[in-house]
Amino acid sequence: MSRREEKRKAYAGILMPQKHESNAAPPKKTDKLCGTCTNYSESSWSSDGRGSCKYLKLGSDITQRPPVYVFEGKEGYLTRTLADASTCEHYQKMKMIDKDGYECSDPTFRRSIRQFQE
């Protein structure tokens, strides 16, 4: 796969929201989510659940078993706030920040909204 194709695949995957599994709220699977990892940066555009990893690079895939880790390259691995990171060896739980909701645009604040309630 060319670098362009690889990027395009990764970008398309992250830009299109995933369908909700059913009409019932999905069951909570794990406490280890990308969104609770210190290496995670949420998109600063929207709170739609997109983000990227500061540590793993594009080409990584933690949904694979075993996970694929890529450390070469510049582009961060694109992932989602609610992605299951239970098998990622590089997961580092962050200290949660309690804010009153009136400070804005703090990437480490936004992630906790609603998405973690499920």
Partner 1 sequence: MAKAAIADRSVKEFEEKQEWWWAAEKKRSSRLDYLRKAIWKKGAIGGLYAPGVKTDLERAVLQTQKARELEFSPDPYVIKFAKMLAHVLDNKSIFITDHAQLVGYTGSLPHTIAWDPSCASILNEEVYNDPTAIPDPAEKSQQIIRDVNNYWIGKSDLDKMMPIFDMEDLMKMLSGSIGWGVPLARGGYSSKDYEYIMTGKRAFQAIIDELSQKIDEADEQTHAPGATPDTTRMYDKINNWEAMKITLEAGIRIAKRYARLAGIMAEHFEEDTIRREELLKIAETCERVPAYPPRTLQESLQYDIFIQMMSRTEAIEGAWPSRPDYYHGPYYNKDVNIDKSLTKEEAIDLLGEFLIRAAEVCQFKPKWSREGLQGIDGTWVWTIGGVDKDGRDACNDMTIALMQAARLVRVANPTFGFRWHPKVKDEVMREIFECLRQGLGYPNLRHDPILIANTMHWYGHPIEEARLWCNQACLSPCPPTKHGFQPMRMANATANCAKIIEYVMTNGYDPVVNMQVGAETGDVTSFKNFEEFFEAWEKQMKTIFSILVRAVNRARTLAPNLTPRPYLSALSERSIESGMDTLTPSLERGNAWITAFTWVENIDSLAAVKKLVFEDKKYTMAELKNAIDKNWEGYEQMRLDFVRNAPKWGNDDNYVDDIMVRCLKAAAKFSKELKCPSGNNWPILPENVSGNIHYANIVGALPNGRRLGDALYDGGISPGPGLDKKGPTAVLKSCGKINHITDGRAFLLNQRLSPSQLAGEKGYQLWKAYMRTWADLELDHIQFNVVDDSTLRAAQKDPEKYQEVIVRVAGYSAHFVDISRKTQDNIIQRTVQGLG
Residues in the site for partner 1, rule: CB under 8 A? 4, 7-8, 11-12, 14-20, 23-25, 41, 43-50, 52-54, 74-76, 101-107, 110, 113-115, 117
> If you write DSSP's letter for every residue of 32-97 in order, what string do you get?
-BGGGBTTEEE-SS-SSSEEEEEEEEBTBBTTSSSPB----SSSEEEEETT-B-TT-TT--BPPPP
65 vs 74, beta carbon nearer partner 1: 74
CB of 97 to partner 1, least distance (A): 12
CB of 102 to partner 1, least distance (A): 4
72 vs 103, beta carbon nearer partner 1: 103
CB of 106 to partner 1, least distance (A): 5
User: CA-to-CA distance for 52 and 78, rounded, in angstroms?
Assistant: 4
Tokens, residue 76: 């961060």
